Amino acid sequence: LAVVITFGGILTITFSDKSDGDDGEEGFWGDVLSLLSSVFYGVYATFLKWKMPEEDDRQGKVNLGLFFGLVGVFNVVLLGWLFPVLDYTGVEVFELPSKAVLGMLFLNAFFGTVLSDFFWAKSVLLLSPLITTVGMSLTIPASMIMDFVLHGSTFHILYVFGSVMVVVGFVIITISNEKLSKETQGRDIKDFLSESESPETEQLTATPYE
């Protein structure tokens, strides 16, 4: 239900953009690329949760710094050669930024990439890809609020309604996950007590050591 509400909110926001005149071929390809980006990101989050070990005393903690460092190395090795190719063909001209722009790029990389990806990966390991991905949808209402506060921007009523749906979906899935965690923890404690009270356990406990 929470996923349906969140997805419905995102669709409502998309339709609000269409009603504001964001249509045509560029709008279509923008929607296609956004959909592909969401699919790849979902696969990435699921694969991360599947391959990364759980953080416990037996397997230790995940070194996220090393993980993202290797991600950066692979990006440079596999995609770095595109810079001179795109610059030579004129598809994307590459030029060195000014000092002011370079400083803003460093700040954006630190807050928008390093910290955000670190917290995102940590959330995937602690919770689940589903909850983390739904939580990332909160960037939509958050950006709307900040745009209104900083720039005084106004939004279509469908955009506001869709943002509310996204928040409601996140609240529902968070409450459901909390209830599921408590039920699972209660079953684990009950199973542990049942095993400790079994006849085999009592016999082993009563057997004296020589």
Q: What is the pLDDT of residue 204?
A: 45
pTM of the full structure: 0.60
pLDDT digits (tens, 9 = 90+) for 20-71: 555 556 666 777 787 788 788 778 888 877 777 655 544 556 677 788 888 8
The first and second tokens of residue 169, run together, are 């979906």
Q: Which has the higher per-residue pLDDT, 200 or 128? A: 128
Q: What is the pLDDT of residue 26?
A: 64
Q: Contact, 41 vs 121, CB < 8 A?
A: no
**3-state per-residue secondary structure call for the chain:** CHHHHHHHHHHHHHHHHHHCCCCHHHHHHHHHHHHHHHHHHHHHHHHHHHHCCCCECCCECCCHHHHHHHHHHHHHHHHCCHHHHHHHHCCCCCCCCCHHHHHHHHHHHHHHHHHHHHHHHHHHHHCCHHHHHHHHCCHHHHHHHHHHHHHCCCCCHHHHHHHHHHHHHHHHHHHHHHHHHHHHHHHHHHHHHHHHCCHHHHHHHHCCCC
Q: What is the pLDDT of residue 27?
A: 65
Query: For the chain, what is the mean pLDDT?
Result: 75
What is the number of other CB atoms lying within 10 angstroms of the CB of residue 4? Answer: 11
Q: Is residue 145 pLDDT above 50, yes or no?
A: yes
pLDDT digits (tens, 9 = 90+) for 107-140: 988 888 888 888 888 887 777 777 887 888 888 8
